Amino acid sequence: MLISLVVISLAGCGQATTTPAATTPANATAIQTTSPAVSMPSANTSAPSVTLNLSAASSLTDAIKEINALYIQSNPNVTLTSNFAGSGTLQKQIEQGAPADIFISAGATQMDTLVKENLIVTSTRKNLLNNILVMIVPNDSTLGLQVIKDLAGPKVSKIAIGDPKSVPAGTYAQLTFDELGITSQVTSKYVMGADVKSVLSYVESGNVDAGLVYLTDARTSSKVKIIDYAPADINSQIVYPAAVISGSKVSDAATKYENFLFSTQAKAIFEKYGFTIAKQ
């Protein structure tokens, strides 16, 4: 009998199972999520797999990466592919048929154009965020610049701005110079960037004397310092609209993701990076 009990006990141990570790989507492994702990809905692991292509202004890069990491926690069936660039560049890509389900622009003009071309689901267009344009210089700058108007002086030879033809931040920079009456003195000093991240890198490297970027970009760098802010009436125009692309084959999933961008959890992340939430 003793032998029988031992045999039965060993057989019971042999039937023990190990729950496999949950897998994490590949595109989330490199993202460090530092947002406050939040209560997320239970993940629906039985939902069909879907890939969402997101085209977003480059100034949103850090915030969107963190939001995406949070989103896939409760939507493990979703793969988020993000394309960050200047808003004008993204607009052209969408017009040319590049894969895109959601567009978040750093300016209304680019979204307006796509609406006129029937490339946007107009009912999904919503203003998501606001930002502020600031003047920055390298930390070790010795030029003694104090206000944007100082860029017109002889001390300054190179000013980085986004290309006004395709980068909303560049358009706002141009409007700022026009309002301050210094356009004729600064135009020859322009070093154009394809997006605000490029402008930021020009200033960080010291290849230019100063640059105009969004506050959110300036805050990501320890190599630059903020000197001045664009006029209030210019900053009041800065808006980030979001919308679903009319050609999306997964519009329901795209709309669900867009709705998440307006959630309390996403708003907290946007605000952490210095954005303000647009009034609805």
| pLDDT score at 49 | 95
Provide the residue ranges of all domains of the chain, joining segments of one domain with +. 51-130+238-277, 133-235
Q: Which CATH superfamily is domain 133-235 in?
A: Periplasmic binding protein-like II (3.40.190.10)
* pTM of the model as a whole: 0.82
Local confidence band at 248 (pLDDT 50, 70, 90 cut-offs): very high
Question: Residue 31: how many CB atoms within 10 A of its CB?
Answer: 16
| pLDDT score at 277 | 97
d(CA 232, CA 258): 29
Query: What value does the mean pLDDT take over residues 110-123?
Result: 98
Per DSSP, the three-state class of 103 is strand
The percent of residues above 70 in pLDDT, for the chain, comes to 84
d(CA 173, CA 134): 9
Q: Point out the least confidently predicted range of 39-43, 82-86, 110-114.
A: 39-43
Q: Which CATH superfamily is domain 51-130+238-277 in?
A: Periplasmic binding protein-like II (3.40.190.10)
Give me 252's structure tokens.
């329901």
Local confidence band at 261 (pLDDT 50, 70, 90 cut-offs): very high
226 closest CA partner among 210, 208, 244, 243: 210
Residues 6+ apart with CB under 8 A from 215: 131, 132, 133, 134, 226, 274
Query: What value does the mean pLDDT take over residues 176-205?
Result: 98
Please check whether residue 162 is in contact with residue 199, taking contact to mean a CB–CB distance below 8 angstroms.
yes
**Residue 261: phi, psi to the nearest 5?**
-60, -25
The stretches of the chain forming alpha helices (DSSP H) are 2-14, 61-74, 87-95, 108-116, 168-180, 183-186, 196-205, 215-218, 232-235, 251-261, 264-272
Q: Is the pLDDT of residue 280 over 90?
A: no
Whether 51-130+238-277 shares its CATH topology with 133-235 is answered yes
Q: Is the pLDDT of residue 63 over 60?
A: yes
| pLDDT score at 103 | 98
Average pLDDT, the chain: 88
d(CA 14, CA 188): 79
Give me 56's structure tokens.
């977003």
Question: Residue 13: how many CB atoms within 10 A of its CB?
Answer: 7
For 165, counting Cβ atoms within 10 Å of its Cβ (0-12 exposed, 13-18 middle, 19+ buried), the class is exposed
Q: CA angle 9-15-16, nearest 5°?
A: 100
Per DSSP, the three-state class of 52 is strand
Query: What value does the mean pLDDT take over residues 100-115?
Result: 98
> What is the residue-wise DSSP string for 180-219?
HT-HHHHGGGEEEESSHHHHHHHHHHTSSSEEEEEHHHHT
State the DSSP code for 120: B
What DSSP element (H or E) covers 138?
Answer: strand 133-138
| The 133-138 sheet, strands edge to edge | 190-193, 159-162, 210-214, 133-138, 224-229
| pLDDT score at 43 | 56
